[in-house]
């Protein structure tokens, strides 16, 4: 086994002191590199990705290694039991996107979360075995490697095996996440997984994951078959049977990721590359940017009342379209061309009033009262050849379904909640859906994940993405506006306070201390309802600066994110 083991302090010393090509971090920017950059949500995963790049791997190799490492060090969202999307831009300008989103099991049914009276059974699609879709992450990484990988597969998985077997220390963020989920861990698991602890988890606690190390070793040695066939597949099927879930060995063997044509749009001279459905994020982002094109946000002022009002009005209309039209295009005729037609969006946004809020009920009927939290993760990588990749990956909710596969050591997702379990009924993020996103066997559930690559004058400019459930789309939207309209450094663009609105509930979520008291009063006078939150989204991005150097954008104020360049 070829194991990469890079202590964090050594990597920091290496990056900032030893390499002649490294430029030290500046106060107003993130880390800067001349050749390559990697930004992920956990320092140890970033170290692993750096090691792969320095070993001669490309951006895709590094991304695969990061994905597996996050399944160890960031169990609330990093995963082998979930899925996601990848947007890739090669050094020659070729753009590709890979859909490794989870799928509904073959025995899933449209009304599987409803009681005899047609009412939604509370929590059934959110925690426990029945909430899980067929995982896509391992198959996705294998597919990426088959098409673009340079280093041997085993070299990319072995760092994660090492982390799981030899242990690592918890960050404060992950310790708190584990503590907050104890009740669900106990409720849905028939045994006591390692995450269950009588006393609180604390920053600095060392965790060892022997079962996960064994699972990863099988994947290291057998590729995708080490997960979708044999021992691990049997463990998943047995876990499902014991808890009333639906995933079978047949479901696992049948799973395949899909290469999809990227969607492309423009914004004020920049080209935007995004995911097609079942990502709703790509279409929604391009619609938002079309609507924003006619506004001078810089003149309005960053996070001014007028800017937030306009942004909110755009978002309400786009999210109403999301609820009505979007789903898995393999199962439902999603009107992509219409939704991205400039004439359609000009008409769609024509009802926006300059000084008055439009109630969501006036856009489309419905009612939602809450938006719950999510744990997804995004990472961005650019290698020395100029290849770039952005991957957004998730278990959906925090630790997914809370089910850890016995003897397998990994969590299963709760992505079935991303379907419309009943038309007009919101999921955990307050998102409404209809027929387009109804449950069907082997269908992929709609997602808000929005990995995005931006070009300027035909060259790479920005790789970005975020976790955050329904707030992912608006977080990426704001990141792009901050960089392009407000000409911020990536560091400042990410640290800037955020706001979010969607079709329903009829409220603007705003990060604390994001706007002035005067702006609060003005927005309320316009008819907006405001709700303040500690944080929205967690960007990990990379910006190509005018001189060709790369600025890393870790969202360190809101997470454990860490970027390294060389």
In a domain, 382, yes or no: no
CB 253 within 8 A of CB 429: no
In a domain, 415, yes or no: yes
Looking at the structure, tell me whether residues 202 and 317 fall in a common domain.
no
Looking at the structure, tell me whether residues 109 and 252 fall in a common domain.
yes
d(CA 429, CA 97): 25
Residue 23 pLDDT = 33
Q: What tens digit of pLDDT does each residue of 51-80 get?
A: 999 999 999 999 999 999 999 999 999 999
In a domain, 267, yes or no: no
d(CA 26, CA 565): 13
Looking at the structure, tell me whether residues 367 and 406 fall in a common domain.
no
Looking at the structure, tell me whether residues 253 and 287 fall in a common domain.
no
Looking at the structure, tell me whether residues 74 and 195 fall in a common domain.
yes
In a domain, 499, yes or no: yes
Residue with more model confidence, 4 or 182:
182
Report residue 362's pLDDT band, with 50, 70 and 90 as the boundaries.
confident
d(CA 104, CA 189): 21
Asked if pLDDT for residue 17 goes beyond 70, the answer is no
Considering the entire predicted model, what is its pTM?
Answer: 0.93
Looking at the structure, tell me whether residues 244 and 279 fall in a common domain.
no
Residue 349 pLDDT = 95
Looking at the structure, tell me whether residues 252 and 128 fall in a common domain.
yes
In a domain, 115, yes or no: yes
In a domain, 219, yes or no: yes
Closest C-alpha among 370, 391, 387, 396 to residue 379: 391
Name the residue range of residue 131's domain. Answer: 8-259+387-419
Q: Is 471 a catalytic residue?
A: no
Looking at the structure, tell me whether residues 303 and 192 fall in a common domain.
no
- We report the CATH number of the domain holding residue 527 as 1.10.246.130
Looking at the structure, tell me whether residues 134 and 175 fall in a common domain.
yes
Number of domains into which the chain is organized: 2
In a domain, 444, yes or no: no
Looking at the structure, tell me whether residues 279 and 236 fall in a common domain.
no
Pairing of strands 388-394, 83-89: antiparallel
Looking at the structure, tell me whether residues 280 and 230 fall in a common domain.
no
Looking at the structure, tell me whether residues 234 and 368 fall in a common domain.
no
Distance of CA 158 to the CA centre of its chain: 24
Residue 9 pLDDT = 35
The single residue of 312, 376, 392, 471 carrying the catalytic annotation is: 376
Q: What tens digit of pLDDT does each residue of 240-270 get?
A: 999 999 999 999 999 999 999 999 999 999 9
Report residue 374's pLDDT band, with 50, 70 and 90 as the boundaries.
low
In a domain, 425, yes or no: no
**Which residues have a Cβ under 8 Å from the Cβ of 132 and sit 6 or more positions away?**
81, 102, 240, 245, 246, 247, 400, 401, 403, 412, 413, 414, 415, 416
């Amino acid at each position: 086994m070829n194991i990469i083991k890079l202590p964090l302090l050594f990597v920091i010393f290496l990056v900032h002191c030893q390499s002649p090509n490294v430029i030290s971090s500046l106060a107003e920017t993130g880390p800067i590199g001349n050749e390559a950059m990697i930004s992920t949500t956990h320092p140890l995963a970033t170290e692993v990705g750096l090691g792969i790049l320095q070993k001669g791997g490309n951006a895709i190799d590094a991304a695969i290694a990061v994905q597996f490492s996050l399944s160890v060090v960031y169990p609330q969202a990093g995963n082998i039991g979930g899925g996601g999307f990848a947007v890739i831009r090669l050094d020659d300008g070729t753009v590709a996107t890979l859909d490794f989103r989870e799928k509904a099991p073959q025995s899933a049914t449209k009304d599987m979360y409803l009681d005899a009276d047609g009412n939604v059974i509370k929590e059934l699609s959110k925690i426990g075995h029945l909430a899980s879709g067929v995982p896509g992450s391992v198959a996705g990484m294998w597919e990426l490697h088959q098409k673009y990988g340079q280093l041997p597969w085993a070299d990319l998985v072995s760092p994660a095996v090492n982390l799981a077997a030899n242990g690592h220390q918890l960050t404060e963020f992950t310790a708190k996440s584990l503590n907050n989920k104890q009740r669900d861990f106990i409720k849905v698991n028939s045994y006591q997984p390692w995450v269950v602890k009588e006393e609180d988890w604390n920053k600095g606690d060392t965790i060892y994951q022997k079962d996960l190390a064994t699972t990863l070793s099988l994947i290291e040695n057998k590729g995708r078959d080490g997960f979708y066939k044999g021992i691990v597949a049997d463990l998943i099927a047995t876990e499902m049977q014991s808890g009333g879930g639906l995933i079978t060995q047949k479901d696992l063997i049948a799973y395949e990721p899909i290469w999809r044509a990227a969607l492309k749009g423009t914004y004020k001279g920049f080209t935007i590359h995004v995911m097609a459905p079942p990502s709703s994020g790509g279409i929604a982002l391009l619609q938002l940017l079309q609507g924003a094109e006619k506004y001078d946000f810089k003149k309005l002022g960053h996070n001014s009342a007028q800017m937030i009002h306009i942004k909110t009005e755009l978002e309400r209309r786009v999210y109403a379209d999301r609820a009505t039209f979007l789903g898995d295009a393999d199962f439902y005729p999603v009107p992509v061309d219409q939704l991205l037609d400039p004439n359609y969006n000009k008409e769609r946004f024509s009802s926006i009033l300059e000084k008055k809020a439009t109630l969501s009920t006036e856009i489309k009927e419905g009612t939602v009262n809450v938006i719950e939290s999510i744990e997804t993760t995004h990472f961005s990588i650019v290698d020395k050849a100029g290849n770039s990749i952005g991957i957004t990956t998730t278990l959906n909710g925090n630790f997914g379904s809370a089910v850890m596969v016995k003897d397998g050591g990994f969590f299963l997702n709760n992505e079935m909640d991303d379907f419309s379990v009943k038309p007009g009924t919101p999921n955990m993020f307050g998102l409404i859906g209809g027929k387009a996103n109804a449950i069907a066997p082997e269908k992929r559930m709609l997602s808000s994940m929005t990995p995005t690559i931006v070009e300027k004058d035909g060259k790479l400019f920005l790789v970005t993405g975020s976790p955050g459930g329904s707030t992912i789309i608006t977080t990426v939207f704001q990141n792009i506006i901050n960089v392009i309209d407000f000409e911020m450094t990536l560091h400042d663009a990410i640290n800037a306070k955020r706001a979010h609105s969607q079709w329903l509930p009829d409220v603007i979520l705003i990060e604390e201390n994001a706007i002035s008291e005067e702006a609060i009063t003005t927005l309320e006078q316009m008819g907006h309802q405001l709700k303040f939150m500690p944080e929205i989204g967690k960007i990990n991005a990379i910006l190509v600066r005018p001189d060709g150097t790369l600025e890393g954008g870790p969202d360190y104020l809101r997470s454990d994110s860490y970027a390294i360049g060389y």
